[in-house]
Every structure is written in C-alpha cells, then in structure tokens.
Amino acid sequence: MTVTKKTVIGDVLDFNPETAQFFFEIGMHCLGCPHSRGEAIEDACAVHGTDADALVKKLNDFLSNAK
C-alpha cells in the first residue's frame, strides 16, 4: 500500500493496524470514531493542525519496512 494525503485513515488502519501509533503521536486519538475512519489524512491533519506530508512519509516508510 502506498499512502497519500487523499488516503482514508480507515483504509490505512485496515491494511496495517500498527500504523495507529503514528496517528496517536500527532494527537489523533479518535481512531475508533466512524467519522475519523472515513476521513482523508489531509483533512484530519488540517483539523488537528498537523503536517499531512510528514505523516504520509512516516506511514509510507513504516509500511515499506513492515513484514
């Protein structure tokens, strides 16, 4: 999976639940909420005042090294 800013958070979590740690790090603790699971990364980052590009990079780096 390659993550972009348009990728839906729930899709990332379904692909690899261990990615939750990166959302938690930036204050996205509402991952169980139906709204957050259906939200694109860039939209969630805008609401939380965080850098979507940095999160996407972390997620892709993690996923490329996950076995």
Here the tokens at position 14 are 């379904």
Confidence of residue 67 (pLDDT cuts 50, 70, 90): low
Secondary structure (DSSP) of 1-41: ----TTSBHHHHHHH-GGGHHHHHHTT---TTSHHHHTSBH
Q: How many CB atoms lie within 10 A of CB 56?
A: 21
Q: Per residue in 4-54, pLDDT tens?
A: 999 999 999 999 999 999 999 988 887 777 777 889 999 999 988 999 999
Running DSSP on this structure, what letter comes out for residue 60?
Answer: H
